[in-house]
Amino acid sequence: MIDETHDSSARSFLETDDRSDFPIQNLPLGVFRRRDEIGHGHIATRIGDQIFDLSAARRTGLLADADGAIADACGETGLNRLMSLGRAASRSLRRTIFQLVKAGSAHEEAVRRCLFPVDEAEMLLPAQIGDYTDFYASVNHATNVGSMFRPDNPLLPNYKWVPIGYHGRASSIIVSGTPVRRPFGQTKDEKAAGPEFGPTKRLDFELEVGAFIGKENALGTTIAIDEAEEHLFGLCLVNDWSARDIQAWEYQPLGPFLAKNFATTISPWIVTADALEPFRSPAASRAEGDPQPLPYLAAADGRGFDLALEVWIRTSRMREAGLAAARLSSTDFQKMYWTFAQMIAHHASNGCNLRSGDLIASGTVSGEKREERGSLLELAWRGSEPVELPNGEIRRFLEDGDEIILQGRCSREGFAPIGFGECRGRIANDS
Catalytic residues: 141
Residue 289 binds its own copies, judged by CB under 8 A: no
Residue 254 binds its own copies, judged by CB under 8 A: yes
Number of H helices, E strands in the chain: 10, 25
d(CA 240, CA 173) in angstroms, rounded, equals 9
Q: Which is nearer to its own copies, 197 or 413 (CB)?
A: 197
The conformation of residue 207, written as its DSSP 8-state character, comes to E
Residue 113 binds its own copies, judged by CB under 8 A: no
d(CA 343, CA 340) in angstroms, rounded, equals 5
Using CB under 8 A as the binding criterion, the count of chain residues that bind its own copies stands at 60
CB of 43 to its own copies, least distance (A): 22
Residue 300 binds its own copies, judged by CB under 8 A: no
CB of 286 to its own copies, least distance (A): 15
According to CB under 8 A, which one of 28, 30, 168, 408 is a site residue for its own copies? 168
Residue 161 binds its own copies, judged by CB under 8 A: yes
According to CB under 8 A, which one of 68, 117, 151, 291 is a site residue for its own copies? 291
Q: Mask: binding to its own copies, 367-406, rule CB under 8 A, as x and -?
A: ----------------------------------------
Residue 353 binds its own copies, judged by CB under 8 A: yes
Q: Which is nearer to its own copies, 261 or 334 (CB)?
A: 261
Cβ contacts of 374 within 8 Å, gap of 6 or more? 138, 141, 206, 207, 208, 309, 311, 329, 331, 364, 365, 366
Scanning 66-74, 85-93, 159-167, 370-378 for contacts with its own copies by CB under 8 A, the matching segment is: 159-167
d(CA 184, CA 203) in angstroms, rounded, equals 11
Torsion, CA 418, CA 419, CA 420, CA 421, rounded to 10? -130
Q: In this structure, are residues 85 and 213 in contact, taking their beta carbons and an 8 Å threshold?
A: no
Rg (CA), the chain: 21
Cβ contacts of 181 within 8 Å, gap of 6 or more? 262, 263, 427, 428, 430, 431
CB of 148 to its own copies, least distance (A): 12
Of 278, 240, 257, 265, nearest to 375 (Cα)? Answer: 240
Can you list the positions of beta strands (E) in 193-296? 196-199, 203-204, 207-213, 232-239, 242-243, 264-266, 271-272, 280-281
Q: Mask: binding to its own copies, 330-349, rule CB under 8 A, as x and -?
A: ----------------xx-x
Residue 429 binds its own copies, judged by CB under 8 A: no
Residue 249 binds its own copies, judged by CB under 8 A: yes
d(CA 425, CA 311) in angstroms, rounded, equals 12
Residue 40 binds its own copies, judged by CB under 8 A: no
Residue 77 binds its own copies, judged by CB under 8 A: no
Q: Which is nearer to its own copies, 254 or 321 (CB)?
A: 254
Q: Which is nearer to its own copies, 94 or 141 (CB)?
A: 141
According to CB under 8 A, which one of 294, 301, 324, 429 is a site residue for its own copies? 294
d(CA 49, CA 15) in angstroms, rounded, equals 9
Residue 255 binds its own copies, judged by CB under 8 A: yes
Residue 354 binds its own copies, judged by CB under 8 A: yes
Type and span of the H or E element at 187:
strand 184-187
d(CA 250, CA 162) in angstroms, rounded, equals 23
| CA atoms lying within 13 Å on the CB side of residue 194 | 2
**Residues at the interface with its own copies (CB under 8 A):** 130-131, 136, 146, 156, 158, 161-162, 164-172, 174, 181, 183-186, 188, 194-197, 219-220, 222, 243, 246, 249-258, 261-263, 291, 294-296, 346-347, 349-355, 358
